[in-house]
Structure 1
């Protein structure tokens, strides 16, 4: 197989977007024969037909559909390249692009990033999104690392590597306004309090549900949140009691006027760093992983 000629790939990509060789030639202000020849050269280098006849026009083959998907990623990166280079040249220091899964507790994020934030000249860029979207961005090299509450799924088409960063058991917190005349000790008191829980997209939700059931607690759920920071904010405002990692103990009661109801060491939240390369090249990411182990 010959190396990919990106000019050929670009002509093919334009033809796929325009719906035909003739319209692509018009957009590119080139002869139809020239564009057609370039597309055939690409097909030859890939070893597969990318277009097939369909009525009076053409359509993508299965191989062509895959080629378009990759071409989209390639040209999106190419479009972003000049601005990224200018920005990197203008700003000395170390840049770290971190993807943060929206299910990850934000106070835990601060704890996980602590080994990196003291790096001289660090510019930290944090992007919060869904777990699947972040993995896609990581695979496209738009992120240096993803922090999440679960490892990446096993997928031969998604070459990413998970590293365990640590774990934390959960504790329950409640605003003082809800505790006047509360019934029972912990954890029985949770049966008489409104509760806020993460949605089922969070890896820890099933563990919390199981823990409540084992203690015979039928929860009165008044809110479910995908974003852990939003959950804590509503808890602080008085809407309900909620669980958070014990790492939060030094921050939540003092800073937000919340009371620690009790700990549930049986419920553990795990934290992972996910990378696009098995060998860790980024110097700041190496600090995050020490002494973490790959999983």
Structure 2
């Protein structure tokens, strides 16, 4: 059976980098900590640390064990805080997993309504690959997962997908790039440098199919799993990039770029995945209702016209 005190000593040593510093933090002798970690290693028949000169470094097994220990003691801290909280300061815990392909601006706008509830909400957001998030959802480490796709049918995990909404995509570029390639959307994308989402996103295949249907061949110069990183490259003038149309105005202001055009033929969808068919968590209800009432209203966004041949009003359906 796992000895949690020994595991705690392992965790503190891994975080501080040495038994001496851990002993100062725990107010124990180095010999006590060293002996307890040795017992932990003997229990499971594997080394967690190895000597590197005067320093300790984690073994491969130690590196694998550390994230589990971190989650366990983080949950312990949250449990202690909850139990110590006074009745008039109780908070609703909302643990949200975010698939790493979902744009951060969309995540914020989806989650924001839960922070306006009469009862204070403490939000914990965790970003990861969808399958790992769903595994944590299944064992109730998460209350909700936000993704660009519904629950994959091949996973043997109990979960229910609610479609929060969908919207078309918009294309953005710097002023210099638009002046170089023109603003006759979508023909201006022919041969233009393009930054696209990574292969794990749903929108990527839809985007490439749309280009094929139009017989337009941009020059792909970058692929990004992280939409914020793609937008940063776009801001530097590396290429044209896309974002959901519902945040078009925000993207233009934040990254100092211009809207070239928009299409509803390529849609991005967003889902809330939970273990409940009928959601009862007030934070999740606020997210789903807010998405349908405020974020995904079906209204197209027109960016104010600029002096670059009115490229902000170029659209295609």
TM-score, scaled relative to structure 1: 0.69
Counterpart among 101, 104, 112 of residue 103 in structure 1: 101
Deviation digits for residues 229-269 of structure 1 (CA, Å, limit 9, x no counterpart): 11111111211111111111220112221110001111111
Check 1:201–1:142 CA distance in 2 against 1; reply closer, same or farther (3 A cut): same
How many positions carry a matched residue from both structures?
227
> What is the CA-CA distance between 1:115 and the residue it aligns to?
2.1
Check 1:232–1:161 CA distance in 2 against 1; reply closer, same or farther (3 A cut): same
Whether 1:119 and 2:117 are equivalent positions in the alignment is: yes
TM-score, scaled relative to structure 2: 0.65
SS in 1 for 2:152: coil
Task: Supply the distance in 2 between the matched residues of 1:27 and 1:263 (Cα, whole angstroms).
Answer: 60
Does the CA contact (< 8 Å) of 1:167 and 1:270 recur in 2? yes
SS in 2 for 1:180: helix
SS in 1 for 2:238: coil
Whether 1:242 and 2:241 are equivalent positions in the alignment is: yes
> What is the CA-CA distance between 1:184 and the residue it aligns to?
5.9
Counterpart among 59, 62, 79 of residue 85 in structure 1: 79
Find the counterpart in structure 1 of residue 283 from structure 2. 284
SS in 2 for 1:209: helix
Check 1:256–1:80 CA distance in 2 against 1; reply closer, same or farther (3 A cut): closer
Check 1:82–1:126 CA distance in 2 against 1; reply closer, same or farther (3 A cut): closer
> What is the CA-CA distance between 1:286 and the residue it aligns to?
1.4
Task: Supply the distance in 2 between the matched residues of 1:157 and 1:262 (Cα, whole angstroms).
Answer: 41
| Structure 2: stretches of 5+ with no match in the other structure | 3-39, 45-68, 293-317
Query: Aligned ranges for residues 26-37 of structure 1 at < 5 Å?
Result: 27=43
> What is the CA-CA distance between 1:100 and the residue it aligns to?
0.7
Does the CA contact (< 8 Å) of 1:183 and 1:192 recur in 2? no
Deviation digits for residues 182-236 of structure 1 (CA, Å, limit 9, x no counterpart): 2461101111321000011001111000111111111201100011111111111
SS in 2 for 1:192: coil
| Structure 1: stretches of 5+ with no match in the other structure | 1-9, 12-23, 29-74
Check 1:27–1:207 CA distance in 2 against 1; reply closer, same or farther (3 A cut): closer
Find the counterpart in structure 1 of residue 48 from structure 2. none
Query: Aligned ranges for residues 166-181 of structure 1 at < 5 Å?
Result: 166-181=165-180
Query: Aligned ranges for residues 141-220 of structure 1 at < 5 Å?
Result: 141-155=140-154, 157-183=156-182, 185-220=184-219
- TM-align CA RMSD: 2.8
Whether 1:223 and 2:222 are equivalent positions in the alignment is: yes
Find the counterpart in structure 2 of residue 263 from structure 1. 262
SS in 1 for 2:108: helix
Task: Supply the distance in 1 between the matched residues of 2:271 and 2:80 (Cα, whole angstroms).
Answer: 32
Deviation digits for residues 103-142 of structure 1 (CA, Å, limit 9, x no counterpart): 1122221222232132352222211111111111111211
> What is the CA-CA distance between 1:172 and the residue it aligns to?
0.6
> What is the CA-CA distance between 1:27 and the residue it aligns to?
4.6
Find the counterpart in structure 2 of residue 71 from structure 1. none
Does the CA contact (< 8 Å) of 1:199 and 1:205 recur in 2? yes
Task: Supply the distance in 1 between the matched residues of 2:235 and 2:262 (Cα, whole angstroms).
Answer: 18
Does the CA contact (< 8 Å) of 2:173 and 2:234 recur in 1? yes
> What is the CA-CA distance between 1:154 and the residue it aligns to?
2.2
Check 1:127–1:81 CA distance in 2 against 1; reply closer, same or farther (3 A cut): closer
Deviation digits for residues 270-291 of structure 1 (CA, Å, limit 9, x no counterpart): 1100002223232111111228
Please say which structure displays the higher CA radius of gyration: 1
